[in-house]
Amino acid sequence: MTLHGNVGAHRCCGPLARGLVLLLGLVLSPLAPAAPTSWVGTVTHVSDGDTLWVRPQRGGAPRAVRLDGIDAPELCQAYGETARAALVGRVLGQAVQVRVRRHDDYGRALARLSLRGQDVGGWLVSQGHAWSYRYRGHAGPYARQESQARAHRLGLFRQAHAEQPREFRRRHGSCH
C-alpha cells in the first residue's frame, strides 16, 4: 500500500471513531491517574533543607516533595544540618498546602508549600537557610528575599563565601 493509501485509509474513520479509540486508550492505559495540582497534607518527615514528605489529608502514603524555587545546602555541606533543622522546626507535624508545578527525575513533586498562608520556600530563603534557585542566568523566584538575607548576614550568608549546593555537588558529588 502506498503512503497515499495509508492516509486515505486513515481518513475513512470519522471523528467519532477516532475519539472512541482515544477514549479506549485512556481507559486501558497502565499509567496512574494524574495527581491533583494542589492538595493539603501533614508533613511527616524532613529529609534535608529542601525535601520533605507530606501525607495527603484525604489519605494515602506520604509523598516526597522538593521545594520549588530554592536550593538548600546538602546535609554533608556546611550549614546543611542547620537548614534541615530550620525546616523541621517550621513544618514537621504541621498541615500545609502543596501546589505542585511538576515532578522531577526522582519522582518528587516540585512544589510550593504554604504554612498558614506563608510560603515556606520564601521563609527559608529570607532566614538565610537556602538560596533562591538560579537557572540560566535568572536570579530565581526568591531573589529579593535572598538579597535581604545577605544584607543582614542571616544564616548561611554569615559566611563570606558560602558555597551554593550546585557547586558543592559538582566538586564533591552528592552526600549519599
CA–CA gap between residue 166 and residue 169 (Å, rounded)? 5
Residue 81 known to be catalytic: no
The question of whether 74 is a catalytic residue gets the answer yes
Instruction: Please state, in angstroms and rounded to a whole number, the distance separating the CA atoms of residues 121 and 114.
Output: 8
Query: Three cell numbers at 71?
Result: 536550593
Q: Does residue 63 carry a catalytic annotation?
A: no
> β-strands 95-103, 118-119: how paired?
unpaired
Catalytic residue among 63, 84, 90, 108: 108
Max CA separation in the chain (angstroms): 74
Q: How far apart are CA 137 and CA 130, in angstroms?
A: 18
Q: Length of the chain, please?
A: 176
Q: Which three cell numbers stand for residue 162?
A: 558560602
The residue annotated as part of the active site, out of 74, 84, 146, 163, is: 74
Q: 3-state DSSP helix/strand/coil percent for the chain, to nearest 5? A: 35, 25, 40
Which residues form the catalytic set?
66, 74, 108
